[in-house]
Amino acid sequence: MDFFTAQDKARRKTGRLVVLMVLAVLALIAVTTLAITIALHLMGEQSATQTNLSAQGMWSALSIELVTGVAIAVLAVVVLGGLFKRSQLRRGGRVVAEALGGREINLNTRDADERRILNVVEEMAIASGTPVPSVYVLEEESINAFAAGYQTNDAVIGITRGTIRNLTRDELQGVVAHEFSHILHGDMRLNMRLISILHGILIIGLLGGTLLRSMRFRRVGGGKRDNSGAVVLALGAALMLIGYAGTFFGNLIKSAVSRQREYLADASAVQFTRNPKGIGNALVKIGSHSQGSHLQATQAAEFSHLFFGQGVRQGFSQMMATHPPLKDRIKRVMPDWNGRFEATLPTPQAESDAPEPEYNNERSGADPTLGRGAGLGATAAVLTGASAQAAINTMGQPGQRHLAQARATLEALPERIKTAAHEPYAARALVYSLLLSQDKTMRHHQLKALHQVALPDVYRALMDYGPEMLRLDVQLRLPLIELALPALRSLSMEQAQHFRLCMERLIEADGQVSLLEWTLYQLVLNNISKQGSGPANLKINDLQRECQMLLTVLATAGQDDPVERSAALNAAERELPFSLRATDDISDMRALSLAVERLRRLKPLHKPALLQAMARCIEHSGRILPAEAELFRAMADILDCPMPPLLSDEA
């Protein structure tokens, strides 16, 4: 299933969730009404010598006012509970990771296990064209992981200590690739919405449990005609019934949504790594591990549908399980598995003594032609329209060659620069350096303007890394920004606002905004702050003017000759259901920003036409320059379309 179809299906599933929630709420209203009717009937019978629980007696206690009151009360609790949970989750995946007791891994950690998982996540992110997510470790010995967040810019990967300690690097790749599938295919956002929706339903049960526990301290008086004991028992039973009903419906919805997505994510992990034994053996190790994949965190049940493996012990029925049976998942990725959980788990001592593997050509079947810088040089020489087409076709489902290209990219980055990208002060300095002009005089004006507002430590880091950054290969700029994003996302609100101000000062120093400056600014801003562009409900025919502006800017960036620029637009026009005309004034970058905000609201199945038009625009001459390729990918990222690296020889 391609990226855009998966996104569209995830979007449609949100509507189905609402239907399921409505059915669950109606069921809760019925159960609650029945419970209150019984309680009221019993209270009305206190003066009688014998309690009457007949159907006729129950019916007499029922009224329109009672049903209406119960419905309003249940709806209010469900809606308010859902809105409350949604407000709690507004910070994205970090909230989930922290609720489960996770700790964000320091990007410059000296722990060998933590360095290894960070390396795997960085590789996967660059290979798939997504921002590098923050990584959290849960200090639990079980083998499990999760991805959480609404968008790629607030996503996190959570992983247990038992996972990074007991799995080999290939197995870790399989697990992380599985989680990236959830990020790319919209499952992650769907799961986050599911948490909010279900919290409103489950809160009925939580309230019921609280009231039931409080009744233990209530003194039940005696008396010949006192029937309060029966009322208390009835209310207790009713509250317990409501609690079980809420939990039942909630788990039923979670399970129905979750199970099939796990099979798809397993298959995507195999496609990504081209190594079925990676994720297969990881699943086998869960089966052979003493603690399996079960988490001890108190809120594990609430987030159980997010996990790689069954995070909590399932009930009496597989129908309530959030994950398919372990044996079924293993058989699907490794048909020749012997059916026995016989994996050998490495001891912590042996694992800690093992040297941290470097990026090399032998690891996980990497392409031997993609050594240090070799893959990058080859890509720069022969990128064509086929390269762009292949990148669009593999969005959401990158392959092993993209992974090898990501390794080559990480090797080509100077070690000193990679280390700096992991530190918040230095990361800001690296971004500033990318905005510096190649012209010495203009660069002097920019530095003078920045010196007045920048933090002293950041400015010193800029002067330290600046000369090396000016020589950085154009193809390494986008991966470097992706590496720096976790450090930039760790900035406080005040620090982020100051960082934005400094970027604007650098951009405005020469009195004009270049396309490179605008793209870099938008790319960073899109990934470190919430961009409220609204729901994705627009069609491409509704955005003709915005498409016109974006494609004209793209054609102008790659062509100085007006004739060639017109030819680029003509090539792009063939992919669109409307005509394009050349626009003379493309200097208004504020107008371009507003246009892009609107284009981000395109329906998922309408975005491929725009991306195809962008690809035709940059390759109409038969060849794509490295700068054009990176501009193409950066703009795709701004449009919320994670574009994998363009490969030189893919048809």
If DSSP codes are grouped into helix, strand and coil, which group holds residue 231?
helix
d(Cα 268, Cα 100) in Å, to the nearest integer?
26
- Contacts of residue 210, defined as CB under 8 A and 6 or more positions apart, other chains included, come to none
Largest Cα separation within the chain, whole Å, is 102
CA dist 136 to 100, 125, 128, 402, Å?
Answer: 10, 16, 20, 25
How is residue 533 written in tokens?
Answer: 């562009």
- For the beta sheet containing 156-160, the strands, ordered from the edge strand earlier in sequence to the opposite edge, are 103-104, 134-138, 156-160, 145-148
Q: Is 223 left (phi over 0), alpha (psi -120 to 50) or beta?
A: left
Q: Give the number of other CB atoms < 10 A from CB of residue 534.
A: 10
Q: Which of 179, 517, 573, 630 is catalytic?
A: 179
Q: What are phi and psi of 143, to 5 degrees?
A: -105, 110
List of E strands, 42-133 = 103-104
Catalytic annotation on 179?
yes
If DSSP codes are grouped into helix, strand and coil, which group holds residue 294?
coil
d(Cα 128, Cα 124) in Å, to the nearest integer?
6
If DSSP codes are grouped into helix, strand and coil, which group holds residue 591?
helix
CA dist 489 to 68, 125, 155, Å?
Answer: 47, 16, 11
Q: Which of 87, 90, 85, 92 is closest to 153 using CA atoms?
A: 92
What does DSSP say about strands 134-138 and 145-148: parallel, antiparallel, or unpaired?
unpaired
Rg (C-alpha) for the chain, rounded Å, is 29
For 405, which DSSP code? H
- Contacts of residue 609, defined as CB under 8 A and 6 or more positions apart, other chains included, come to 540, 575, 576, 577
Q: How far is CA 388 from the centre of its chain?
A: 24
Residue 165 near residue 113 (C-beta atoms within 8 A): yes
Residue 26 near residue 33 (C-beta atoms within 8 A): no
Catalytic annotation, residues? 179
